[in-house]
Amino acid sequence: MTNLEQYLRNASRGTYGKTRALIRTELEANIRIRGKELEHNGLTETQAINHALEELGAANQISTGMTGVYTMPKITVAAIPTAFALTALVIALSISRAQVETTVVGTVAECDFKNTKTQTMPCALEANWLKLSSFKTELEKAGGTLEVIPDGFNLQFPGDRLVKVNGSPTGTPENQSIDFKQNGEIFFPTLYVIGLIAEKSNLPVKLEGYINPRLTVGSTKIDFAGNAPVKTTMFRFMNIQTQLQNDLKNNGIEFSATRDCTNMTIPRLFICSAPSEKTHHIKVNAPQGTIFASLEQRNNKSFSMDIAAVNSNGMLEMKLASQTAYFVNDFKKLKTGQGETILLRLTNRIDARAKQYEIAELPKNLISTAK
């Protein structure tokens, strides 16, 4: 799909039939005339059209304006008996355009987190598979687009720029490359797709929920769930690393890129869970579902981390290296093997422009002992 076609689609969204056709025809004619002018200034046809689109401004503002002209008046004059019903209809329409929630079914190939000898990063990331046709259906309902191309797919959330997700058409369920195909359906790693959206989107991107998360891109919400829980543990570990590395560096703390969690293909900060770790139950003042990460300096340049969500009792169940953990609120106070631990409260923002965690505020001198 060309940028022009994409623009026309977005600009005419929310209008139907002849009105939609009229808007598209009018815009296209004006854009092409402007494009021809720009070609005379030395731009290629593609460059000229893209420039003309930029001059015209955001497509979604046109669609919002046009919806106001053609769609909303029809709602207000509709024969709805009560003001309550009218209000309900307007609310329903606004939700269906801007905040569609959806369930995307993924097939699951679980990784064994306990077997750190064989665990690899791709396995961890690909534990959940996104059924692309389902994602496309729900994204389009929300006003976005998804188009499969020979080397992956392009997607666009309403008001956002195009995001390309690279794939490989050669994958099979037994031998996955990036994506794979089964019974005519294409599957991509769910968290790989979410990660790319977070990286490339122009809009604020949030991921809420420890399992079966909700992705919010701008004002569009997509729920992920499947025939087994969609787990975000590894994704969240990876996602906070850049900020964490900077925070540690800014506090004069070095870390090593060598990991004892084998086969990790990227530098990691944390040591994978091991039998020697102790289970702690930590009371925190945060709503159920709030996600925290723990960070301990385990030995020189090596850290241990865990991630957990607050349970219904207001507790975090975390695996820590120490029998007794002493919670601190400053990276500088982390000391080798002394049980000092920092709790990081995740903000759920996963795009690089935002703070992805903040140091949790805990009661002074909080100590936890493993049972």
Partner 1 sequence: MTANPNLLKGNLDLILLSILERTEMYGLEIIKEAQARTDGFFDFKEGSLYPALHRLTEQKLLVAEFKYSPRGGAPVRYYEITDKGKKTLTEKRAEFQHFNQNVEALWSKS
Pick from 71, 37, 68, 35: nearest CA to 50: 35
Q: Which of 55, 140, 185, 358 binds partner 1 (CB under 8 A)?
A: 55
Applying CB under 8 A, which part among 65-73, 165-173, 175-183, 276-284 lies near partner 1? 65-73
Q: Name which of residues 186 to 205 contact partner 1 (CB under 8 A).
A: none
Q: Does 69 bind partner 1 (CB under 8 A)?
A: yes
Does 3 help bind partner 1 (rule: CB under 8 A)? no
Phi-psi region of 14 (alpha: psi -120 to 50; beta: other; left: phi over 0): left
Span near partner 1 by CB under 8 A; candidates 28-36, 154-162, 291-299, 338-346? 28-36
Separation between Cα atoms, residue 304 and residue 269, nearest integer Å: 7
To partner 1, the closest distance from the beta carbon of 35 in angstroms equals 10
d(CA 51, CA 280) in angstroms, rounded, equals 58
307: contact with partner 1 by CB under 8 A: no
Q: Whole-number minimum distance, CB 79 to partner 1, in Å?
A: 20
Distance CA 149, CA 315 (A): 46
Least Cβ distance, residue 39 to partner 1 (angstroms): 12
Q: Which of 9, 24, 32, 181 binds partner 1 (CB under 8 A)?
A: 32
Spatial CA neighbour of 105 closest among 141, 140, 129: 129
Asked if 68 interacts with partner 1 (CB under 8 A), we say: yes
Instruction: Output the CA angle 189-190-192, nearest 5 degrees.
Output: 65
Is 27 a residue that touches partner 1 (CB under 8 A)?
Answer: yes
Closer by beta carbon to partner 1, 203 or else 295: 203
Q: Is 332 helix (H, G, I), strand (E, B) or coil?
A: helix
SS3 272: coil
CB nearer to partner 1: give 47 or 133. 47
**Is residue 56 involved in binding partner 1 (CB under 8 A)?**
yes
Q: How far is the CB of 203 from partner 1 (least distance, A)?
A: 17
Q: Is 183 helix (H, G, I), strand (E, B) or coil?
A: coil
33 is a contact residue toward partner 1 (CB under 8 A): yes
Q: Helix crossing, 17-40 with 59-70: angle to 10°?
A: 150
Tokens of 92: 């329903």
* Spatial separation of the C-alpha atoms in residues 23 and 30, rounded to whole Å: 11
Estimate to the nearest angstrom the gap between the alpha carbon of 42 and the chain centroid: 40
Q: How many residues bind partner 1 (CB under 8 A)?
A: 29
61 binds partner 1 (CB under 8 A): yes
Least Å distance, CB 54 to partner 1, is 9
What 3-state class would DSSP assign to 164? strand
Minimal distance, residue 38 CB to partner 1, in Å = 12
User: Rg for the chain (alpha carbons), in Å?
Assistant: 25
Tokens read off for 131: 């059924």
Taking the complex as a whole, the smallest distance from the CB of residue 4 to partner 1 amounts, in Å, to 13
- 217 vs 364: CA distance, rounded Å: 37
Among 43, 58, 90, 162, the residue binding partner 1 under the rule CB under 8 A is 58
Q: Of residues 1, 21, 29, 149, which one binds partner 1 by CB under 8 A? A: 29
Binding interface with partner 1 (CB under 8 A): 11, 22-23, 25-30, 32-34, 36, 55-66, 68-70, 73
